[in-house]
Structure 1
Amino acid sequence: MPLVTTGELIAGASTEGRALAAFNVITLEHAEAIATGAEEAGAAAVLQVSENAVKFHGGNVLAIAAAAAAVARASSAPLSLHLDHVVSVELLHSAHEAGFSSAMFDASKMTYDENVKATAEAVRWGHQRGIWIEAELGKVGGKEGEAPLDAHTPGVRTDPQEAATYVADTGVDALAVAVGSSHAMTERTASLDHELIAQLRDAVPVPLVLHGSSGVPDEEIRRAAAAGMVKINVGTALNTAFSGAVRAYLDAHPGTVDPRKYIAPGRDAMAATVAHFLRTVG
């Protein structure tokens, strides 16, 4: 079916009082697994390509974006294409040409004032081209070797009043907030600050986004979605499933040299993981 915009999917989820899961795409097999899992679960999903994934592909966003878009168009599930964790303004400005309907502009490592200025400019640029813009306030942590962060560490969690001001000053369409999850977790042990989620929901007039959901148990995700989290980002869980299935196949068949033999079970494991998360948030 035709690509759906992320904005449409988010609006539909918000109206229906549920959450929408977004999954990171690194390879063609990731995109195929996301589409298969969404079809199996009978749900919509977002295919996300991060700046790190673009770097992995030699800095060429057009190739991986075209592959993901082709998979999405061939699927019977409603799927959108999102450019995730963009630090480079140059990469952000390629979003429209590459076919992304949305982007997450990440200025979270800047000072607050610099973050507001840079994000407001990204929003102005995006809205002129019909691109939905997500931003982050607070520190989710865990990327590029960072240690996971506790939800109660001073200065880490997103402050509700600051978040309300930030959204008003930048005009973002959605806000990723720090409430206890962390990127790159391989075990699902994170405990979310649900009281803070409720406070942020009441203070912020745009959809809230939970990054680092791979490390969050199912029941915590369900509670977060019920409390107001609308977009649930999942990345590491797919890689964990893929790597585990590939290792198991190669352990059982050590003489294998045809990559299709071990990539296929890896892709199937990712698809099952996608379907599980979609049923959890839905």
Structure 2
Amino acid sequence: MSQGDERGYGSEPGGRTEDAYSTLGGTRQTRTRLPGGDEGDGYGRRPARNSRSLIMVVGVVVLLVAAIAFANRGGGDASGGGTAEKKPDAVGAGPTAATGTKPVQGADGTIASGFAHDEQGAQSAAANYAVALGSAEMFDKVQRDNILQVTHVPAVVSSLQADMAKAYSPGFLANVGLDEDGGTPTGLTFVSRTVPVGTKVTAQSENAATVEVWCTGLVGMAGEGSTKPVTATWFTITENLKWVGNDWKIESSAQAEGPTPVSGDNRASTADDIAGAVEGYGGFTYAR
């Protein structure tokens, strides 16, 4: 999902120019000063200053720091190493057709695992990992460390966890309305949910694959008195996967804005309705 031009891990929400910190969902410069003053988040990002930008940055940081770590380590090449040319034949009868084959054999906690060692399995893994990395659980250190361990190749987990700990600084958490431990204020519901719309393999070899996942996301704080209402974002995540330990794992990734559709005429629901929906409707295990 990142809409528009693809960028590597390391774009900062602030302006339209290319820089080292791209964001999900168009996190850009802001206008209304939010709680937390001008304290940064440890990566040069200043507090968001309009509700839309701040809300979007919540979903952004998930893959942001991962990209920084991997882009710096690998020279910023979002395509990753070891991938071959894109296969000429797409999986299934068409771009949106399901294969009819069960690709997921199990789960590691709440994250699907045991994906098939083929193009179909790579797409399924990429979609499910995008959901996990864009979840509200990423704002809790213990849960975040586990998610990173489950979704990434072992060689990059430790450094990635350390980078993420710096990004989710007390100042950054305060700016998105959470306490220093990632807790949500009483009476409010923190929302960060990613929903894959489709996947596409752009390159693949026997043990490596590059998969693009087009997503929409919900990010913000629901509840009476919230100054950061839940909004929808659109972005595309490019995941470079590697076959490790009999499963697909993320080696590096990048994100770009869009494609973003025109907003519909639906009337916005109340904060209580949004909070109830998020708490009452569960997610899915995604399969190609």
- Return the TM-score normalized by structure 2: 0.23
**Higher strand share goes to which structure?**
2
Q: If each structure's helix is expressed as a fraction of its own residues, which one has the higher value?
A: 1
TM-score by structure 1 length?
0.23
